[in-house]
Amino acid sequence: MKRILTGIQPSGKLHWGNYFGAIRNMVELQNAGEDMFMFIANFHAMTTVRDGAALRASTRDVVLDYLACGMDPEKTVLYRQSDLPEVQELAWYLSCLCPMGLLERCHSYKDKMAHGFDATHGLFAYPVLMAADILIMNSDLVPVGKDQKQHLEVTRDLAQKFNNAYGEIFKLPDAYIPEQVALIPGTDGQKMSKSYHNTIELFEDAKSIKKKVMGIVTDSTPMESPKVPEGNSIYELYKLFATPEEVSTMADNYRKGGYGYGHAKKALLEAYHRVFDPFREKREALARDPDYVEDVLNEGKRRAQTAAAPTMEKVRKAVGI
């Protein structure tokens, strides 16, 4: 059994891209019996979120979303990053060994600077805190996307530097790259991303979802004309929700003509509701218990602290603290 660790920033509403790009895969790994740890990265979110009430609300919303979509707190250790202050302690120890050049080469920091983010120490040192998140749990595998792969390489570099200085304390975690999901298009045809303002949220109200689905940008091909399904935003989104038989039927309808984009959008909306209405009902039920999320996080805190304690005992002894 491999220990798999992943984190999610509570920096906004989760959307269809988040579900098919990450959540669904995490639930499948959990149900396959892997040793799963997942944390709500509220320290990391502070690099962009400057509203305490919003951060607390977002943290709760993310937990509800994951639980509604199948994350089981009996099988997965689900905890708040801030409930494990040892992470910050370990980040300091790693910072004392981290070359400036290692961080200066990180593409993510350069990209955020190019997009107008404030050049803060928190943003610059983000990979060190991420390394502490990973190493403190003695993680074997870390699911990463393209934009985070370099940060895992930083984690491995810092673990090796620490081991070279103080002895073999940390294992070197590997990237877990799940089976790639095709690019998930947003309502404008670009990649679905909060940065592009083209997302469809997992649990926004049904009227809003319908408006967004029916407003997905399409070309001007007449209804009676044949259409190419591959690469079409509606078809690509439909593939995520529908059965293989339904996908084949829509593709045939596209190719033979007499099938408009309006028909396809209605089919997409129906498929979404079939998959997500049970999740929505579960989320609403969980939200009615104001103490439930906090109970889940408190139990996750206890289990996370238990898992982190042996590592931190070795680290403190090694560094002389």
List per-block mean pLDDT (blocks of 10 residues) for the chain, which spans 321 residues: 93 91 91 95 92 96 97 97 97 97 81 76 91 97 78 93 97 83 86 89 95 96 94 96 97 96 97 97 95 97 98 98 96
Give the list of residues 6+ apart from residue 149 with CB closer than 8 angstroms, or none.
175
| Strand, coil or helix: 91 | helix
First to last CA, the chain: 32
Domain boundary assignment for the chain: 3-182+291-319, 203-284
In terms of Cβ atoms closer than 10 Å to its own Cβ (0-12, 13-18, 19+), residue 155 is buried
Please report the pLDDT score of residue 182 as a whole number. 63
Residue with tokens 């407003």: 215
Q: Write the CATH number of the domain with boundaries 3-182+291-319.
A: 3.40.50.620
Please report the pLDDT score of residue 181 as a whole number. 60
Q: What is the DSSP string of 97-161?
A: T--HHHHHT-HHHHHHHHTT----HHHHTHHHHHHHHHHHTT-SEEE--TTTHHHHHHHHHHHHH
Give the list of residues 6+ apart from residue 3 with CB closer than 8 angstroms, or none.
34, 35, 37, 137, 138, 139, 140, 141
Beta strand pairing call for 76-80 and 35-40: parallel
Please report the pLDDT score of residue 51 as a whole number. 95
Of the residues 75, 171, 194, 210, only one is catalytic, namely: 194
Please report the pLDDT score of residue 114 as a whole number. 75
Q: How far apart are CA 60 and CA 42, in angstroms?
A: 11
Give the list of residues 6+ apart from residue 203 with CB closer than 8 angstroms, or none.
13, 65, 68, 276, 279, 280, 283
Beta-strand (E) ranges in the chain?
3-8, 35-40, 76-80, 141-143, 174-176
Domain 203-284 has CATH 1.10.240.10: yes
Please report the pLDDT score of residue 180 as a whole number. 59
| 189 phi-psi bin (left φ>0, alpha ψ -120 to 50, beta other) | left
Please report the pLDDT score of residue 179 as a whole number. 66
Residue pair 180/146 in contact (Cβ under 8 Å)? The answer is no
| Strand, coil or helix: 201 | strand
Q: How far apart are CA 133 and CA 86, in angstroms?
A: 9
Residue pair 261/233 in contact (Cβ under 8 Å)? The answer is no
Structure-token pair, residue 118: 């404030």
- The question of whether 282 is a catalytic residue gets the answer no
Q: Would you say the CATH fold of 203-284 matches that of 3-182+291-319?
A: no
- The question of whether 161 is a catalytic residue gets the answer no
Please report the pLDDT score of residue 205 as a whole number. 94
Give the list of residues 6+ apart from residue 298 with CB closer than 8 angstroms, or none.
none
Of the residues 2, 110, 149, 191, only one is catalytic, namely: 191
Residue pair 5/137 in contact (Cβ under 8 Å)? The answer is yes
Please report the pLDDT score of residue 150 as a whole number. 80
- The question of whether 191 is a catalytic residue gets the answer yes
